[in-house]
Every structure is written in structure tokens, then in C-alpha cells.
Chains A and B, each alone.
Chain A
């Protein structure tokens, strides 16, 4: 099995790469800014590629080199900035959408023609898609809500090729995003809202991704599976 994953060098993506490569899958790890981390993950069955997932030409070039593959994991994403709407820069808004939403579209636009029938597409969304996100995080939250919707649209479109398309929607997981934007106090206040009483580990998320990669989930498509310790249930 050959897996293409974006944002594979750090955080949830890294955990997916480690978990899937450990069971013998061949991984094409796409990264952009995290070169040092990507190098460390390189191995016999993990190839690394520096691709800007917001750049159509780079994605086109990448998929031109791929004959076929089985699983596409659209994981790359992030928050550009937090601010109230009246102060939010259009430039940051557009960048957020390019990174979280347009990237998924472009990876699908060029990846779907070469993905095998019976393959899987897994989009990494966010709890904020349903909750509205943190204050000042409208761009991020709404760009992820679009990913939830794209998941359903794609599920319909690709059903004739028996390709299942699902999203994984994590709650609070300590990754670079929180490192950058969340104070300790704020982060702890988030954890207090979680029935299981803890934040998610990246491995919690990659376990779910692994399940959705397996044949055991072959009748699941068009779903957004929430994984958040009970922080949001709906």
C-alpha cells in the first residue's frame, strides 16, 4: 500500500507516518517548512518530498511522478493568525483558506486521477469546524468546516470508483499550533472542558486514521469522525 500524506513531518501527520510505516505501508511524506523533522522520518519505506500544498504547479509536478497510490491523507493545515474580524487581514484570511481548504482541493484535483479504485481519502479537519473555533479564529474554523463539506461531496463523486472519503476531526491536541498560539492557562482551561479529562495525543488521532485506512472501515464514507475526548458531542 502506498500512502501520500501532507504535513507529514510533525504533529498528527508525523504520528500517522510512524504508525502506517510500522505496518509496512510505503509513505510519500509531503512537508514544506519542517525539513529537519522530515529528514528524521526518512527510511526505506518513507520517502520525503518538499511540496508547497498551496502551489498548484508544485502539486501537479509531484503527482506527475506518482504512477498510482492507495491512500491520500490531507493533513497539512494551520492557523495563520487570531484577531477580531474588524482587524483581521484579508491576506491572512486568504492564506488560511489556501493552506486548509484550497490545498485539499488541489491535492484531490491532481491526486484523484492517479489514486487506485478502492482507495481511501482521509481529510484531517478540526473540532472548530463545528464549534466555531476559538475567539478570533473564524478563518481557521470556517476553512475546516469547508473541509467537512468537501469530504461529503467527494464521497459522492468517488463512490463509483469505490473510494471512501472521510474526515477525522480532532479536538485539543498539543501540536505546533497550540505551541504557537495558546498560553498555558488557556490550554488548561480547554482541558477542563473535556469529559475524559485529558488532551488528545497525536497517537490517538493516528489510530483512528489507521482504522479508516483499513478494509474494516470499507462501509464508512462521507463521515466526519470526531475524536475529542467528549469535548463536543453532536
Chain B
């Protein structure tokens, strides 16, 4: 029964592995016996298609196969709508949406034989609108739908694709909100607290393990009830 929730000996690529969530997710997976390929800058720039090829090649060269992929790399640039730069828009799109698309396709080719699990880290922004961040809101909305498209196309290979949507998690990316809106967000969250990156680890393990073998194309929000709460 314990094997059911196990990621032991699974080969898992985590992008954005140096970030607040990515690093803790990677640590957690390793603690549970997975082999984690930590993909992050400068060695692996997910916006560079050649780097993605290298990432897959390196992973296969060292480990023989790929069982899991966690698309965790993400960027967010806050700016007034009328000041929003093309550069920020393009970069957000490249990292948050194009990279998961490209990397998932590449990795899925090698998962076809034995099946696998892909997790896209979405966001509250996949469901709700937030101010001054058109690129982030729309790419996270797009990522949510990309997951469904991949789930449909890859289901026949027993490759499952799901979204994990974190709520307000205390990381570098949310430090602005932590500073300016900490209390407001606490009050808006059913469980009355911000999340820690550790809160995400269990769901990642669950979605990578055979305990979730019949779950695909779904959204699991680990948000302390932020979305469920609706009005204040």
C-alpha cells in the first residue's frame, strides 16, 4: 500500500527548481526517493528550445527514462496596463506557456512506452483576474487549458497531465503582496494563513504517484480555500 503513494526511483524533471516553490518541491521529491533533475538558469533556460533539448537529452543520458515532469518555472512582471512592455509580455509568454508546451511534448515522447505524469503549476490567476499583470493572468489561464489539451492527446499513452494551482504561497514572487496585502490575503483565505512551499509537496507527490492513476486533465488548487471562499 505504501508503494501507492511512492515516487521512489522515479525520474522527475522540475523546471524553475531554484525558485521558492521549485526548490522545496525538488527537495521533497528527493527526500521521498525520486531522482530529480533540477532545471533552472543558467544551464537550462526554458525559453531556449536548444536548452530544452539538452535537458531531455541529459536526463535520458544519466537516467535512462523520464517518469515525471513538473513545469514550475514561472515569471511575473507587474506593471500598469498602459506601461506594460512588449518585452515583459513576450518573456512571460515564453516562460509560463510556451516552455511547458514545448517541454511536455518533448518529454511525452519518451513517456509513451511506460506512461507518466506531467504537472503544470498554474495559479489563482488561471481562474481570477488580478490587476496590472495582463501577461501573467493570461498565460496562467492558457496553461490551465494547455493541460486539458495535453491530457486528451496523451491519455492513450497513459500519460496524465494535471494542474496544481497554488494560492498565496510565501515566496520571492509574492513578496510584494506579502509586504502590502498580507492581512487582506490572510482574511480572504479560508484557512486564515498564507501557504508555505511545503504545502504543495504532498499534492505533487500524489499526482506523480500511482495513487492518482485515474486523475487527468484536472485542477487541484492548494490555496487554503482562497478560490472557494468567493466573496469576502
Do residues A221 and B191 form an inter-chain contact, with CB atoms below 8 A? yes
Do residues B225 and A159 form an inter-chain contact, with CB atoms below 8 A? yes
Do residues A220 and B206 form an inter-chain contact, with CB atoms below 8 A? no
Question: Of B90-98, B117-125, B194-202, which stretch is located at the interface?
Answer: B194-202
Interface 0/1 of B188-232, CB less than 8 Å to A: 001110010001111101100001111111101111110111100
Alpha-carbon distance A225/B163, docked complex (angstroms) = 11
A-B contact count (CB 8 A): 124
Do residues B228 and A221 form an inter-chain contact, with CB atoms below 8 A? yes
Which of A22, A214, A223, A227 contacts B221 (CB under 8 A)? A223
Given contacts A23-B1, A225-B220, contact A233 B190 (CB under 8 A): no
Do residues B206 and A222 form an inter-chain contact, with CB atoms below 8 A? no
Alpha-carbon distance A171/B218, docked complex (angstroms) = 12
Do residues A156 and B228 form an inter-chain contact, with CB atoms below 8 A? yes
Query: Is B81 in the interface zone, CB < 8 Å from A?
Result: no
Query: Is B152 in the interface zone, CB < 8 Å from A?
Result: yes
Query: Is A27 in the interface zone, CB < 8 Å from B?
Result: no
Which of B5, B217, B222, B230 contacts A233 (CB under 8 A)? B217
Alpha-carbon distance A219/B148, docked complex (angstroms) = 24
Do residues A219 and B191 form an inter-chain contact, with CB atoms below 8 A? yes
* Interfacial chain B residues near A205, Cβ < 8 Å: 214
Given contacts A156-B229, A196-B158, contact A219 B195 (CB under 8 A): yes
Do residues B148 and A233 form an inter-chain contact, with CB atoms below 8 A? yes
Query: Is B155 in the interface zone, CB < 8 Å from A?
Result: yes
* Nearest B-chain residue to A224, judged by Cβ: B228
Q: Nearest Cβ distance between residue B96 and chain A, in whole angstroms?
A: 20
Do residues B218 and A233 form an inter-chain contact, with CB atoms below 8 A? yes
Given contacts A219-B222, A222-B228, contact A22 B214 (CB under 8 A): no
Query: Is B151 in the interface zone, CB < 8 Å from A?
Result: yes
Q: Nearest Cβ distance between residue B37 and chain A, in whole angstroms?
A: 23
Instruction: Tell me the count of chain A residues lying within 8 A, CB to CB, of chain B.
Output: 41
* Interfacial chain A residues near B49, Cβ < 8 Å: none
Do residues B225 and A156 form an inter-chain contact, with CB atoms below 8 A? yes
Q: Give the interface of A toward B (CB within 8 A).
A: 19, 22-23, 151-152, 155-156, 159-160, 162, 164, 171, 194-197, 200-201, 204-205, 207-208, 210-211, 214-223, 225-230, 233
Interface centre among B1, B200, B216 (most CB of A within 10 A): B216
Alpha-carbon distance A195/B148, docked complex (angstroms) = 10
Q: Give the interface of B toward A (CB within 8 A).
A: 1, 4-5, 147-148, 151-152, 155-156, 158, 160, 167, 190-192, 195, 199-203, 205-206, 211-218, 220-225, 227-230
* Nearest A-chain residue to B4, judged by Cβ: A207
The 5 closest A-B pairs by CB, nearest first: A216-B202, A222-B228, A195-B155, A204-B214, A233-B217
Do residues B211 and A228 form an inter-chain contact, with CB atoms below 8 A? no
Which of A197, A215, A226 contacts B156 (CB under 8 A)? A197
Q: Nearest Cβ distance between residue A152 and chain B, in whole angstroms?
A: 4
Alpha-carbon distance A216/B203, docked complex (angstroms) = 7
Alpha-carbon distance A230/B117, docked complex (angstroms) = 13
Do residues B224 and A219 form an inter-chain contact, with CB atoms below 8 A? yes
Do residues B202 and A229 form an inter-chain contact, with CB atoms below 8 A? no
Alpha-carbon distance A194/B206, docked complex (angstroms) = 21
Alpha-carbon distance A233/B217, docked complex (angstroms) = 6
* Interfacial chain B residues near A194, Cβ < 8 Å: 155
Alpha-carbon distance A23/B211, docked complex (angstroms) = 15
Do residues B151 and A211 form an inter-chain contact, with CB atoms below 8 A? no
Alpha-carbon distance A171/B214, docked complex (angstroms) = 9
Given contacts A216-B203, A216-B205, A217-B203, contact A201 B155 (CB under 8 A): no
* Interfacial chain A residues near B214, Cβ < 8 Å: 171, 196, 200-201, 204-205, 227-229
* Nearest B-chain residue to A162, judged by Cβ: B191
* Nearest B-chain residue to A227, judged by Cβ: B215
* Nearest A-chain residue to B209, judged by Cβ: A207
* Interfacial chain B residues near A171, Cβ < 8 Å: 214
